[in-house]
Structure formats: C-alpha cells, structure tokens
C-alpha cells in the first residue's frame, strides 16, 4: 500500500500536465537516487545490481516515502559495456568499477558482436525490475529508464585514459567503435520500447571538464544524436540528457540534436541555462549532491532548493527540481525529506 499522497495531484497527473503545459499544483521534483539508496531497504548494492526484485523494491519503497514525480532505472555507467564484454567488478556494498577493458588495441574491434539485451550483462535485470515497478506504482507515477550515452560507454570499453588517447592517436578506430556502441544502445532502446518504456541519457565523459568542445563534436555528438533519434522514433519522446561537470559549451549542440530536457550539474548556473536554452527545452537541476545533500544540514537543503527554484521556475519550457547528480550513498534520509518538503513549499504554482 502507498502512503497518503502529500500533494493535490498524483505524480503521473502532474507530469502529464507538465508535458502539455497545463496547470499544476507545483513544479515536478525528481531527486537523483538509484543504487546508492539500496541501504534504505537494508539491501546491498551488489543485490541491487543483480536482483530485479531488490532493485524494484528499493525504488518502490523510496517512492512510497517521497512521492517524487518519476521513477527511473539506470544501466549505470558500465551496464552497456558489461553487456558487450568488459569485466566489471562488484563489491558487496560499493559502486561497480571497470575491472578489465574489453578493447585494448584497434584490432580487437573486429571481434565485437551485437548484444542481446535480453541475455547479455545485466540489462535483463533492469527490464524485469522496470516491469515490477510499473505493476506496483505505474498507476500513480511515470516509470522510465536511463542509459549511458555512447561516448561514456566507450570509457568502459577502452578505459577512460585510453579513450582520451584514442581521440588523438586512433581517431578512425574510435569512430568504428562508437558506431558499434551506438547500435548496441539502439538494441536496448528497442527492447525498452517493446515493453512500453522510454529512456534518458547520461554522458559524464562528454563533460568539457574532460574533453574539448571539438572532441565532443567529433567523437560524441554524432553518436549521441543517433541514439536521440532512436528514442524519438521508437519511444515517441524527446529524451533527457545529463552531463556531469561543465557542459555549458555543449548546451546548444545537444538541444539541436533533439533532447527535450537538459539535466545540469551543480557546477553550472541555472540562470545561464534558462537564458541560453530555456526556450527550447526543459531545464532540470541542480542542488549540489555532495556539499548540500550529503554534507549539509536540512537548513542548507532548504536554502539551496529555494535558490534553484528562484532561478529557474519561470524557464519558458519548464523546470524540474533535481539534484546536480546522483545522491551519494548514506546521505541522511532527513535531507532528502527536506529536499522534497522544500520543493513542495517553494515550487507551488
């Protein structure tokens, strides 16, 4: 049983109204959670990664507490790379890490094969969890998926250091690899669409904290654009894109590529985002996940939420309150309560 909804509208009603530009009781609120919150139901991160029932129950119980406006299940940064054959290390209660890169030299690319999203890696775990969650709360909340964009998948196929080296030393081989990753991403998008789900994208390695705008335009954007088109065609929606770190120099390119929502890291400014792209896409963000959510007090959370809402609530295409990136493990649950409470207080319409 769900607890009593603290709002006038259900999350599904609110997001439907939001998408149509219709009146709402408040702005949407979507804290970025996921595997780092497995502890909330007394589970290990290992089980969240590997057991669809644990994953689903974590998300269901979080929703029962917070009534946030959408629930999403992510491949995490290494999920597609694992499905393709990279070795991923799992500890009982930590985040997954790349153990052994799949591709070490250009000749290895010819050995890569198309994935089967229903069998390879843990993608089938995610799809099963999505169906369990939809069965439990799909009548009151939108359920969706999130996946890693091609360039960030490549970081777990080559290793991040080699990926950056290949942009200069092996550019053609890298482009061949990117095409294969993009097709494998499409296979997962197809599988999701067949089950009635859409997806969003995360691409931290595309940040201009790591690469130049020119590198982004040559090695990331063309392949991201193809997967954005895949979501348009197969799922009938414009996906959200999140890029960690600095991303301002990429905003216009990404909007031109067809995203419907840009999720912005707290290192960037929501006012600038509103002025540059707010009339062309939704803006999401960007309460600091570490300095405020993890290390801060409830008062700090309230202040940060108010600052974000003051900056972006009048963005022409709409604003969704969120954290600048994923909420860290062992963040005080009271701070997430405060995040939701502050959003409800300051985000009334």
pLDDT in tens, 232-275: 999 999 999 999 999 999 999 999 999 999 999 999 999 999 99
Q: Give the pLDDT of residue 9.
A: 97
Q: Give the pLDDT of residue 1.
A: 55
Rounded Cα gap, residues 224 and 220, in angstroms: 6
Rounded mean pLDDT, 137-156: 97
User: With 60 as the cut, is the pLDDT of residue 166 above it?
Assistant: yes
Neighbours of 210 (CB within 10 A): 18
DSSP lists the bridge partners of residue 254 as none
User: With 70 as the cut, is the pLDDT of residue 134 above it?
Assistant: yes
- Residue pair 232/257 in contact (Cβ under 8 Å)? The answer is no
The chain-wide mean pLDDT, for the chain, equals 97
Rounded Cα gap, residues 195 and 183, in angstroms: 19
Q: Give the pLDDT of residue 228.
A: 98
Paired tokens of 290: 């570490």
Rounded Cα gap, residues 62 and 2, in angstroms: 11
What CATH number matches the domain at 11-346, 3.20.20.210, 3.90.1310.10, 3.30.70.3270, 3.30.1330.10?
3.20.20.210
Rounded mean pLDDT, 311-338: 98
Rounded Cα gap, residues 221 and 17, in angstroms: 31
């Amino acid at each position: 049983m769900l607890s009593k909804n603290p709002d006038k509208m259900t999350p599904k009603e609110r997001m439907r109204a939001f998408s149509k530009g219709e009146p709402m009781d408040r702005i949407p609120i979507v804290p970025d959670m996921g595997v780092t919150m497995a502890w909330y139901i007394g589970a290990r991160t290992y089980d969240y990664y590997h057991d669809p029932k644990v994953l689903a129950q974590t998300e269901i119980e979080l929703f029962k507490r917070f009534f946030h406006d959408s629930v999403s299940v992510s491949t995490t940064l290494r999920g597609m790379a694992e499905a393709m054959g990279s070795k991923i290390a799992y500890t009982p209660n930590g985040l997954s890490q790349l153990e052994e890169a799949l591709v070490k030299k250009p000749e290895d690319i010819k050995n890569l094969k198309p994935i089967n999203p229903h069998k390879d890696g843990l993608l089938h775990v995610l799809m099963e969890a999505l169906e369990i969650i939809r069965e439990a709360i799909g009548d009151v909340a939108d359920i969706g998926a999130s996946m890693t964009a091609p360039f960030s998948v490549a970081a777990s196929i080559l290793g991040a250091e080699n990926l950056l080296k290949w942009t200069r030393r092996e550019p053609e081989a890298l482009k061949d690899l990117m095409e294969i990753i993009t097709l494998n991403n499409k296979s997962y998008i197809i599988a999701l669409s067949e089950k009635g789900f859409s997806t969003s994208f995360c691409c931290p390695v595309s940040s201009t904290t790591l690469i130049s705008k020119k590198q982004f335009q040559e090695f990331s954007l063309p392949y991201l654009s193809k997967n954005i088109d895949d979501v348009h065609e197969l799922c009938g929606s414009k996906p959200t894109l999140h890029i960690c770190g600095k991303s301002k120099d990429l905003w216009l390119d990404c909007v031109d590529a067809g995203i419907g929502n840009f999720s912005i890291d707290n290192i960037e400014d929501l006012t600038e985002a509103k002025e540059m792209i707010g009339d062309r896409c939704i803006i999401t963000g960007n309460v600091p996940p570490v300095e405020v959510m993890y290390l801060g007090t409830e008062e700090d959370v309230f202040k940060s939420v108010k600052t974000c809402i003051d900056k972006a609530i009048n963005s022409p295409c709409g604003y969704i309150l969120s954290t600048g990136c994923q909420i860290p493990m062992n963040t005080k649950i009271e701070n997430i309560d405060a995040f939701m409470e502050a959003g409800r207080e300051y985000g009334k319409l």
